[in-house]
Structure 1
């Protein structure tokens, strides 16, 4: 697939997908991988495409990748450390993966090259997907996931779901913790020094606040959960299940948890225990140990198996995912970007947005602005032009659908 034409010619958007990876580095959101459904078949998206969303201008571009390409996968775990996107695990046509790759996102020549990490020390986790990751002290710390193990690899950290006796291969859920030190290229399994770990699970979510790694929800067997756990990433002691009084989110899987302040986490979406796609948002305060549901979010934009990244001004950027239950109606993959403002924007941001929204009225005065902020103004003008273009396109699609119905 060719890259998008220059923004002056066309406003493009990343392809719809679920089970992908996304990270923010600097002023860009990067998206890789995942899958879509075509005629009831799961089709993995190209492994050599990296989609970039510039936060200031609101423009998407696609870049072809080179190097030691990962296979096209879904359910991989993506994380960013020092400008490098790391991809671990996932599921493809051949099964589960425990390979680790990285790409430098801060390339100077615009060429993005994948590198497979093979010269590591230590032992990586067993193959799995739908796991999650904490980033702490230049380490990738992985928890849980669904995958396969051999008979001699079975342990208390693995809940068996199914088995293939010829070859003695077992499938199930994990609750083990593995870490990869990006400085020394070393895998290690930390010794858990105390506390009660969460039960094995997949399709859960992780977030870091300070030196604490939080886990919420997920699925094991036919059960979805709404429990909250915390692991001290210095001492390796589990908190046990955190008991919360008052209102709290319902059981779910395929949701996201995003740190939005030093003591707050933002929970969004997922799939409920009764297989209903969710559009609710919650904020958890670790200071008060309570949940607060947000009442102003749109009810018509459910998402599951999406990604959530924190933007440059505290906004949570939800990309892709599905609006349908992927177990039964695998057709509702999304390509839109939902942006939730969790704190007031800076005065500069508010002024830039005001100019961008009213560019046609202010076109004769824009050149009077200081040259230092003029590039930012031009990007905001592009941002709101792109937003208006997408809104007009959406309205046209809705009009055509209404005509077809009548």
Structure 2
């Protein structure tokens, strides 16, 4: 997998595509996203960063690919109520184009930390996007150092870390990045990557917990008690109530299957153990997604990459009260390095790589939207999708279909508008050969 740095001029195509979509007033759908962040804000799932793989014509026969970072100035918003995507412009001092950054939402603002940039460096600054005004601002450091290293405490350069919000502060955990070189670089314990060939560019896995105070714009290292999780990168994580959960992640050649939670009321780590050798338990993995589902007592673990480099397609539900895992056999979606979030008890997953193994020469990337819910679909959702699909599949020009006149006699305007939006979305997906993957036991929220 090659992630290439390139000049700003190459992003002109993105701007032209955006303008073309808007001038034609067509349904929008995001391109491939890998290594991106997905965060939830009200009814929206927001995509930030990552890259998209592009097949090179000169290499199309050997499966090689090139990759382009997504612009940090244009963000995708998925409306879980209307089931539509929007591409939003942003302004101000935006972050560099990043992969595997950490994102968090607090007070209607999106914060971006760390990550690896298209210019081949780790981002050490913090950026904030006001989601109401769509204006970016750099909030750390307040004075931009040009010729000297940062003297304020901050995380050492890293990516593939976890983040969460608690009581007005943002916390960062783990990650993979550069060996700390300066006293101001917060790091805690770490494990050196012994396979690095360049001694002057050593990398390491981290397991420290770092807090960012959004009022004072300062970082500090947080010491927690209990069994500290080993260093790791690309773990699956989420916060439910006052507990922050992490599953797996990579350390050296191992993709782990250990499971911890951090009780923020006590700042205490607890390791969740198997009750017996025969108990169901997910295999070790990195680049998976962990999300609350149904209520605050259940978590959904999906996908990832195992220690043999195989892409996983399984779905697991963890019962927090019982402390047990259950594999869900109704769904199958092979994907890793994707991202997602939970809205109204439904988990939304987007993007990632789909190829069978990490060694695959032909890297198949995804712009599929997967929705998973433990609730059955509403009758309104089933009827809306069925009517819209029937119209789109039977008519070349679905907008002039005679069925609309019939529907006017039986449905209220709001219901017809919902069917029209769904038909527009399905028509666009059909024309672009984009598949929306909805598991058999899943549904979109009631509309």
Which TM class, normalised by the smaller chain length? 0.7 to 0.9
Could you tell me which residue of structure 2 aligns to residue 62 of structure 1? 87
Could you tell me which residue of structure 2 aligns to residue 257 of structure 1? 290
Matches within 5 A, 1:13-24: 13-24=29-40
Deviation at 1:234, TM superposition (A): 2.2
Deviation at 1:327, TM superposition (A): 5.3
Deviation at 1:170, TM superposition (A): 3.0
Q: 1:36 is matched with which residue: 25, 43, 52?
A: 52
CA distance in 2, matches of 1:179, 1:330: 40
User: Alpha carbons of 1:332 and 1:21: their partners in 2 closer, same or farther (altered >3 Å)?
Assistant: same
How many pairs are equivalent?
381
Note if contact 2:347-2:371 (Cα within 8 Å) is conserved in structure 1: yes
Q: 1:52 is matched with which residue: 69, 74, 77?
A: 77
Q: Tell me whether 1:136 sits opposite 2:158 in the alignment.
A: no
Matches within 5 A, 1:274-353: 274-298=308-332, 301-311=333-343, 313-324=344-355, 325-326=357-358, 328-329=360-361, 331-344=363-376, 350-351=379-380, 353=382
Q: Secondary structure at the match of 1:333?
A: coil
Deviation at 1:52, TM superposition (A): 2.0
Matches within 5 A, 1:157-176: 157-162=189-194, 169-176=201-208
User: Alpha carbons of 1:289 and 1:241: their partners in 2 closer, same or farther (altered >3 Å)?
Assistant: closer
Deviation string 1:42-87 (CA, Å, 9 cap, x unpaired) is 3212232211222233322322322112111111112222321111
Q: Secondary structure at the match of 2:301?
A: strand
Note if contact 1:231-1:237 (Cα within 8 Å) is conserved in structure 2: yes
CA distance in 2, matches of 1:53, 1:160: 39
Deviation string 1:298-355 (CA, Å, 9 cap, x unpaired) is 3xx31100001112x321111011102445536312111111122245xxx5425524
Q: Secondary structure at the match of 2:429?
A: helix
Q: Tell me whether 1:181 sits opposite 2:213 in the alignment.
A: yes
Q: Tell me whether 1:11 sits opposite 2:27 in the alignment.
A: yes
CA distance in 1, matches of 2:283, 2:32: 27
Q: Higher strand fraction: Structure 1 or Structure 2?
A: 1
CA distance in 2, matches of 1:244, 1:330: 41
What is the root-mean-square deviation of aligned Cα atoms in Å?
2.9
TM-score (norm 1): 0.84
Deviation string 1:360-397 (CA, Å, 9 cap, x unpaired) is 65754558766xxx54752453124413542465399x
Note if contact 2:301-2:316 (Cα within 8 Å) is conserved in structure 1: yes
Could you tell me which residue of structure 2 aligns to residue 268 of structure 1? 302
Could you tell me which residue of structure 2 aligns to residue 197 of structure 1? 228
Q: Tell me whether 1:100 sits opposite 2:126 in the alignment.
A: yes
Provide structure 2 residue ranges, at least 5 long, that are not aligned to the other structure.
Answer: 1-14, 57-64, 143-150, 392-402, 436-447
CA distance in 2, matches of 1:395, 1:330: 19
Report the more deviating stretch, 196-205 or 29-38.
29-38
Note if contact 1:144-1:176 (Cα within 8 Å) is conserved in structure 2: yes
Q: Tell me whether 1:394 sits opposite 2:394 in the alignment.
A: no
Deviation at 1:258, TM superposition (A): 0.2
Q: Secondary structure at the match of 1:117?
A: strand
User: Alpha carbons of 1:119 and 1:272: their partners in 2 closer, same or farther (altered >3 Å)?
Assistant: closer
Note if contact 2:31-2:52 (Cα within 8 Å) is conserved in structure 1: no
CA distance in 1, matches of 2:203, 2:170: 24
User: Alpha carbons of 1:350 and 1:183: their partners in 2 closer, same or farther (altered >3 Å)?
Assistant: farther
CA distance in 1, matches of 2:301, 2:352: 15
Note if contact 2:27-2:424 (Cα within 8 Å) is conserved in structure 1: no
Note if contact 1:356-1:377 (Cα within 8 Å) is conserved in structure 2: no
Q: Secondary structure at the match of 2:34?
A: coil
TM-score (norm 2): 0.77
Note if contact 2:188-2:208 (Cα within 8 Å) is conserved in structure 1: no
